[in-house]
Amino acid sequence: MPDKKQKFYLTTPIYYTNGLPHIGHTYTTVVADVIRRYKRMRGYDVVMTTGTDEHGVNVERAAKRAGIPESEFVAKMADAWRALWDELGIPADEFVRTTDLTHVRTVQWLFKLCRENGYVYKGHYTGQYCIYDNAFVNDAKPGDNCPDCGRPLETVTEENYFFKLSSFQKPLLDFYKKNPDFIQPDTRRNEIISFVEGGLKDLSITRTTIRWGIPVPGEEPHVFYVWFDALTAYLSAVGGPEYEKRGYWPADLHLVGKDIIRFHTVYWPAFLMAAMLPVPKQVWAHGWFLMDAAKMSKSKGNVVLPRPIVNMLGMDALRYFLLRDVVFGQDGNFSYDALVTRYNSDLANGLGNLASRTAALIEKNFAGKIPKPDALKPQDEVLAKEAQNAIGEVLENFDKLSFARALETIWTVIAAADKYLTSEQPWALGNSEAEQARKATVLWTTAELLRIVTALLFPVLPDSATKVWTLLGQSDALSKFELDGLRWSQLTPGTSLGKSQTLFPRVDKTEAIERIEAMANEELNPTPGAPAPAASASAVGASAAAAAAPAVSDKIGIEDFAKVEMRVGQIKTAERIVGADKLLKLTVDIGTEIRQICAGIAQYYEPESLIGRKVAVVVNLAPRKLRGVESNGMIVAASVGPEGRPVLTGFHEEVEVGARLK
Ligand code: ME8
């Protein structure tokens, strides 16, 4: 336990506001929240920062498309990001926006320090620039595509202020050597060291081709390069120029995805060194969640959204899956199948079942009071030892951010308790004094194990662990429990069990996946006029407040309608999809090409009856995957009755395939 609340400052990236969060962003923010809760339970005074990266040409363009000023656009997006984190129970302690005044001042101050110290000069730069990643691509030729996102590069020539990054090759290499834990995991450190050893070119840190940025004082039209701006947000969030007053800088941990490690481990420490400011202690780059072996992105149509999963299975289920299924640091494939399988096996059958079984037995045999253990048998001691050893192991793994290992250990203990109950069979024991005493020992042992597991699980499963804690009659707030004091044999006999609450009801896998996908489709392609999606009272009990999504007017202009391209299509083939009761896979002739489209009409239309039928098709929807099958468009149908029975649109006169609906 640190003396007198040692401070711990951790951050997630400051996310771009030209889109809304998907499971990748949620992953980083969940991990940050787990670490925050864990560190607090270890006695630290923790601040966690997240926020929004609001400048740059992408935002300029997105605001233009939306027909509103940039400031209004980013305010709505920042609200939506903040609201989603609140809704998911992972709010920041400091939510920093790069349009905040303190941030603007901090960026200008950092620049001034770098300039005063001789690390900034004026020059010209012509290069190939990716407007999506906001980065010049070294060694690219005109006409090349961006090596990161694959989109076309643009040739840009500008008068810029340059940062003397080249002066920092040696200081950075020395710094990495002296601080071997600065870049984690090790593979990433080696990558960065070779990159820096290869030589560093000076970096242009202002732009004149962009309007929407933080102005360089007295040097208009120069605005700061988005990465000089964005990285500084970590410092602005905890006081900016007055950082010493709050005492959280330097950051203990920057959590980032591997896509942005170079910015964090090369540019950022170099800017800080140039300004003679303290450098963060660690940058941890995790891997990517992939969908069909590709990084998720909205433009590829393969994003997974957090809210539908939370509505169906609860936030704890999502948190558990993200941390348990992928080794932190490595890439992992996201699959709904794996998510629901883990939910049913580990949460419903594992933890949930152990808790309800134990509580029911105590209720029935000891009138709902924790019994007093009697003489111990070797098997009781073996289990006690296993739980006691797990404490150290789990804490050690949490410290190393080896979340999957920590959870594996906890589930080994849960499985051991299950086995113990099954072999001791307390329910089969009678009412003689000896048998009652044995029952008491077995149930106390199981309940004590559950208490330990629950305390260890709080950082990952805050809602469910709190429910089990209450069930075990523990009145102190679990969030404030000090993990350093956790030991076997602290469960007081005589404690009355608390309220029993639903933990993880089992779900039917196919149905759960279909519901999640249906909610995700609605969120990605909302029905016009429908209310913005929010975490409603969920199918199985998750709860959260509604998101403050940007307000939508109930009337749209003709230009909005014109964005939807609908054409007459003719269905060529139709077949059922194995494992998806509601979906049909269709191929549809839309005049210019044959498209594959999935439609949720399988319960109402026989595939054969559809062949040759002419239907209305939305042809300019981004492609998406439904149950792993690509769908490239949408068939229009009326939704009839309370169950929403789909009725396909049709035409009473002859229409040409491909004709546009206006
Ligand atoms: O890069 N798997 O913002 P961003 C795992 N604004 N993590 C993912 C992911 C995936 N498929 N997709 C995104 C920016 N992430 C800059 C950052 S910081 C000073 C400026 C997570 O909105 C991961 O943490 O593109 C990644 O680094 C971050 O989101 C990128 O968010």
- The yes-or-no verdict on residue 308 having pLDDT over 80 is yes
User: What does the pLDDT average to over 531-557?
Assistant: 38
Beta-bridge partner residues of 573: 587
- Per-residue model confidence (pLDDT) at position 538: 31
Name the pLDDT band for 320 (thresholds 50, 70, 90).
very high
* Ligand 1 contacts CB of residue 371 (under 6 A): no
Q: Are the CB atoms for 314 and 542 separated by under 8 Å?
A: yes
Token couple for 253: 């941990």
Q: Please say if the pLDDT value at position 547 is more than 50.
A: no
Work out the end-to-end distance of the chain between its first and last CA atoms, rounded to an integer number of angstroms.
Answer: 68
Angle subtended at Cα 233 by Cα 231 and Cα 237, rounded to the nearest 5 degrees: 145
Does the CB atom of residue 30 touch ligand 1 within 6 A?
no
- Residue 6 Cα to ligand 1 midpoint, Å, equals 29
pLDDT score of 586: 94
**Which tens digit of pLDDT belongs to each residue from 457-474?**
999 999 999 999 999 999
Tell whether ligand 1 has an atom less than 6 A from the beta carbon of residue 288.
yes
Kindly tell me the burial class for residue 356, based on how many C-beta atoms sit within 10 Å of its own C-beta (0-12, 13-18, 19 or more).
middle
27 lines ligand 1 (CB under 6 A): yes
Confidence of residue 620 (pLDDT cuts 50, 70, 90): confident
CA-nearest residue for atom 16, ligand 1, is 15
Tokens of 211: 């309007």
Task: Give the pLDDT of residue 258.
Answer: 95
Predicted local confidence at residue 531, as pLDDT: 54
For residue 530, pLDDT beyond 70: no
Q: Is the CB of 132 under 6 A from ligand 1?
A: no
CB 356 within 8 Å of CB 503: yes
- If one compares 513 and 299, the residue with the highest pLDDT of the two is 513
- Cα(302) to ligand 1 centroid in Å equals 16
DSSP letter assigned to residue 183:
E
Residue 378 burial (C-beta neighbours within 10 Å; 0-12, 13-18, 19+) = exposed
Report the separation in Å between the CA atom of 53 and the middle of ligand 1, taken as the mean of its atom positions.
Answer: 11
Distance from the CA of 432 to the center of ligand 1, in angstroms? 63
pLDDT of 300 over the 80 cut: no
- Residue 442 to residues 105, 129, 358, 431, 439, Cα–Cα distance (Å): 63, 67, 10, 14, 5
Which pLDDT does position 559 carry in this prediction?
63
Q: HSE-up of 514 (CA within 13 Å, CB side)?
A: 18
Q: 344 vs 501, which has greater pLDDT?
A: 344
Ligand 1 pocket, 295 CB below 6 A? Answer: yes
The answer on pLDDT for 114 being more than 90 is yes
Nearest ligand 1 atom, CA 16? 22
Q: Is 496 exposed, middle or buried (0-12, 13-18, 19+ CB in 10 A)?
A: exposed
Interatomic CA distance for residues 196 and 487, integer angstroms: 47
46 lines ligand 1 (CB under 6 A): no
pLDDT above 90: residue 170: yes
Burial class, 301, CB count within 10 angstroms (exposed 0-12 / middle 13-18 / buried 19+): middle
Average pLDDT over residues 244-254: 98
Q: Whose CA is nearest to atom 30 of ligand 1?
A: 15
Q: What is the CA radius of gyration of the chain?
A: 28
How crowded is the C-beta side of 309, counted as CA atoms within 13 Å? 24
Atom 31, ligand 1: which residue's CA is nearest? 15
- Whether residue 516 is predicted with pLDDT greater than 50 in this model: the reply is yes
What average pLDDT does the structure give for the chain? Answer: 90
**428 DSSP 8-state letter:** G
Q: Which of 12, 27, 151, 263 to mutate to test the pocket of ligand 1 (most atoms within 8 A of CB)?
A: 27
- For 470, the token pair is 């209450």
CA of 135 to the centre of ligand 1 (A): 15
Q: Give the Å distance between the CA of 366 and the centre of ligand 1.
A: 52
Residue ID of nearest Cα to ligand 1 atom 23: 257
Structure tokens of 481? 């429990």
Of the pLDDT bands very low, low, confident and very high (cuts 50, 70, 90), residue 532 is: low
